[in-house]
Amino acid sequence: MSMTNNYELYKVFYWAAKTGSLTQAAKALYLTQPSVSHAIKQLEDSFGITLFYRTAKGVELTQEGAILYSYIEQSHIFISLAEEKMAALKNLESGELRIGGSDSLFKHYLLPYIEEFHERFPNIRLHLNHGTTPEVISFLKEGRIDLGVVRMPIVDPQLEVRESFHLQDCFVAGARYEELRGKKLSVDMLLEQPIILFSRNSRARMTITEIFQSYGYTIKPEIEVGSVDLLIEFARRGLGISFVTREFVSKELEEGSLFEIELDIPIPPSQVGIMTKRNMPLSSAAMKFMDMIG
């Protein structure tokens, strides 16, 4: 006999054994006493053994019934714990949230939202997985994260991407290139300077490469780095002109340690999206976080 198909019979058995009364079991389950008696008989017939014997006070378990009860009681405890766990997960009283993204997006964009989420739901464990856009896509497909925050475009039938916000990329330089401040440079003039770019597999690197190719130019960096912090620091120290996200260097631009290089071609804004796996239900924690970041 399958417990999946006969769960209601086991519930009746549990309450009859627990209360020692068919009447009390009927009250606990909102059933009639004949329905309880019928359910007990069905269970006994399926096993071919007697589970209860009647007494003046109600019913008591037979030896076989006591053995069955020892198992059913444990099952009932586990089911109750599971229900409590599901309620806690729904109410964000426990669980985990796994987010993927680049170091720069975590630091310059996601950090305030992560901080707010942690303050509101301190019992949710946070797991942050850093990586490039291709790496974050792999994390999501492998089930290592619940959602990823990445630069678009992302075209993948296994993924759903919700547009979130825009970023504006630009070239910046430090005091060593002061003579370029306020001038509008052509691409040819820019490419005469040492260029510092992010690693080849980053979305920002792909973007500027494609933009320049559309104008018939090939951009070859003198220095390649693996983090936005290095892009900023190298430009500050005068090692070259860095291609960075304007929002990520707002402090340096404001204080004057960096300035933006003006070009005679436009650099379109980049769209950032929140990426999830298609047809994969999100946890309550993941849904709440997505609602927070819009």
| Domain range summary for the chain, segments of one domain joined by + | 7-90, 96-160+278-293, 169-268
- pLDDT for res 294: 72
- pLDDT for res 7: 83
- pLDDT for res 4: 46
The predicted-structure confidence for 106-157, as pLDDT tens digits, reads as follows: 988 899 999 999 999 998 899 999 988 889 999 998 888 999 999 888 888 9
Superfamily (CATH) of domain 96-160+278-293:
Periplasmic binding protein-like II (3.40.190.10)
- pLDDT for res 5: 54
| Peptide bond connecting 153 to the previous residue in cis, omega within 30 degrees of 0 | yes
| Residue ranges in the chain modelled with pLDDT below 70 | 1-5, 88
The DSSP symbol for 282 reads: P
Give the domain 169-268 fold: D-Maltodextrin-Binding Protein; domain 2 (3.40.190)
Q: Name the class of domain 7-90.
A: mainly alpha
* Fold equal for 96-160+278-293 and 169-268: yes
Q: 144 burial class (0-12, 13-18, 19+ CB within 10 angstroms)?
A: middle
CB atoms within 10 A of CB 228: 22
Residue 40 to residues 69, 78, 92, 159, 169, Cα–Cα distance (Å) = 13, 22, 39, 50, 72
In 3D, which of 25, 65, 16, 69 has the Cα closest to residue 44?
Answer: 65
The model's pTM: 0.65
